Structures are given as C-alpha cells and as structure tokens.
A = this chain, B = another copy of it.
Amino acid sequence: MAPNKNVTINDVAAAAGVSRATVSRALSGYGRIHEKTVLHVRSVAESIGYRPNSLAAAMRAGKTKTIGLVVISDFTNAFFDRATKAIIDQAKELGYRVLISHTDENIAEEKAAVETMLSNQVDGLILVPSGSTQHSHLTPKKLNNKPVVIIDRKLDTPRFTTITTGDREAAKEAVLHATENGHTNLGFLIAVPGIKGFKKKAPEIPITSVQERAEGFSDGVSESKPKPKSAIWIYCEDEEVAAGSAVEEMLDADTPPSIIFTSNNDMLLAVLKIAGNRGLAIGKDLSVISFDDSPWAAAMVPGITVIARPVEDLGHLAVTELIAAVEGKVRPKEIVLEAHLIRRGSVAKLRKAK
C-alpha cells in the first residue's frame, strides 16, 4: 500500500512500453523522437505521477541549477530581507533555486556556510563577506572554480565580480543637504561590527561599505560651506544598549548635534528612541538622516530622510551576473549602483536652503 517509493523514469518506461532513454528524450525534448511517442510518454508520465528527480539529473549533468546565498547578518535586517527576496525572485526567473545561509558577521560561520554550499554542489555563490581581508577560503581551488559574486561590500582582491552601492557619494550628499539647511553641529553614529560598546576614536572598519559611509560623511563635512562648527563621531557596536548610550553621549555633549547621521537602521532606531525619551521632536528639535530605507521610516510622521540604496536592482543584478558566469566564462567586473537621498521630514530647516 505505502510504497514510499518515488515514481522513476523506469516506471514510466515500463508503463509506456518504451526504454528509459526514450522517456528521457520525450520529457526533455531533445534528440530525434516521434511526435506520437512524445505525447504518449508524457501522458503516461502524468498519469502515474512521475516527478523528475533533480538530484539525479544534477549529478549526471554536473550542474544543480542552484545558487548559494551567504548573507552576513540575516534577513531581519532591512537591507538583506529585500535583497534576499530579490535574489530568490530573479533566480526563479532564470530557472535557479537558492540555498540560503546567514552568518551573523562571523568569519568561521562564513567558511562553514561556503563549505556546505559547495558540498551541495551549488553552481555559484552570492556572498556578503564578513571582512574585506579575510578571503583565504575563497581561492579558485577551494571554490572548485565556481563563480562568486560579492555584494554590498568589497574584498581587497579583484578576483570576483562585485556589486556595491555608491555609499560614499550618497553620504556626502546627505551631509551637504543638512549643512545647506543650516545645520552646523553634526553627529555621526556609525555601527561597526566587532567592537564592544562605543568609542570616539575611529577604529579599523572591516566592512568597506561602512568605511565608505564614514568617508562620505567626512567628505561632506570638508566640502560644506561654511564649515560646520562641530562634528561628533561615534563608532558603535551594532546593538541596542550601546547605541542608546552613544546617542545619549552625543546629546549630552557641550555642543550637541542638531542632526545625527546614522549608518544603519539599528542606529536610527536608537536615535528615535532616545530623542523620544527626551521629548525631542524629530525634524524639529533633532534632525536625523539614516542609511537604508524601510517601510516604517517612510510611514512615520515626519518621514525619515534616508539614503536609499537600490536593493532590488542589486539583488537582481547579482543573480544575473552570477548565472552569466555559471553558464559561460565572464570576466569579473566591479559594478557600482547609485544610492540616493530621499528627502522626507526629519531634517529641520534651520535656514532656507539655497
């Protein structure tokens, strides 16, 4: 009764009174085969509930039509959730499946995840690397020559196709937007993985995108006219309590910032919370601009002015590039997508912008 046995191509062959080869040809539509046979085989296959075993096909073909996605952090993050969705969608579009890992910014986990993916014979990998310098596990040999596309950040090797966003330019634009509106006391709150609590001295930033944001903020400070009067920089663990303390520290400074720039949503949330606790109205008593857009940042009143990155484009492109590399030889390239400022209401106009 309970055969618990898959219907295989042999069963179809037997039921249809032809050979396995003929079934395969009929179903995959290759080679010469009589039209009538095709129809017959297909109807038989259908009627006995045949379902191809992708594993067997993959083993034979040496291709699994599966790509691996190794995401640092996870998809409770407002950037990676959308990126993941975009990647899955585009992969499906191109006939590929996606195996997913997340690694909490941990290099050991990343190595293990890559290992698992390869062991599962993925045809290629999309990777958000933990650190820009740690890529000894990504040699062509260790990767079985499988193509890799790096997203969101760069590695200090040009070996792979890399897709990033122009965070430095966008960060600068954000600062200029603020100073043009009359802000002269600025605060920068930058989440840096690997540090504990927060510090005011610039640490090593192992993630190039974050590094670029910091540089862009700095560019903005330099290029603002008149020069901002003060700028407080805080580098912070990506964690709620530390972020809260960092914001408190900023606001308690002798010359507190009238605007705080945050490098991600977690830091933004900390600003919102502390400002709320102190009865500071966003966009009035305290201004803020954050990296990465989200539905809630848009829905709040006033809406949060954000630097939006083209997440869906990035995800789609990553898949498209990866599969191009899987299916033919493609030279690695660096692609930078443009990020841009979405002006909502969280930046007070301290004076008329020009």
The contact size tier of chain A is 35 or more
The one of B99, B145, B275, B299 that contacts A97, using a Cβ cutoff of 8 Å: B99
Further pairs besides A75-B85, A88-B100, A276-B300: 20, Cβ < 8 Å: A2-B145, A49-B142, A51-B118, A51-B119, A53-B121, A54-B121, A55-B55, A55-B58, A55-B59, A59-B59, A76-B81, A76-B82, A76-B295, A97-B99, A99-B99, A269-B299, A270-B299, A272-B296, A272-B299, A273-B300
Pull 14 A–B residue pairs with CB atoms less than 8 Å apart, ordered by A.
Answer: A4-B144, A4-B145, A55-B58, A55-B64, A66-B120, A74-B85, A88-B102, A97-B120, A98-B99, A266-B295, A269-B296, A269-B299, A272-B296, A277-B301
The answer to whether the Cβ of A253 comes within 8 Å of any Cβ in the partner chain is: no
A302: interface (CB < 8 Å): yes
- Is A115 on the interface with B (CB-CB < 8 A)? yes
Contact A115 B76 (CB under 8 A): no
- Give min CB distance, A300 to chain B, whole Å: 6
**Chain B nearest CB: distance from A215 CB in Å?**
28
One digit per residue, 1 when the CB lies within 8 angstroms of any chain B CB and 0 when it does not, for chain A 89-118 equals 000100001111110000000000001101
Chain B positions within 8 Å of A295 at CB level? 76, 266, 269
CB interface residues, A 307-343, toward B, < 8 Å:
none
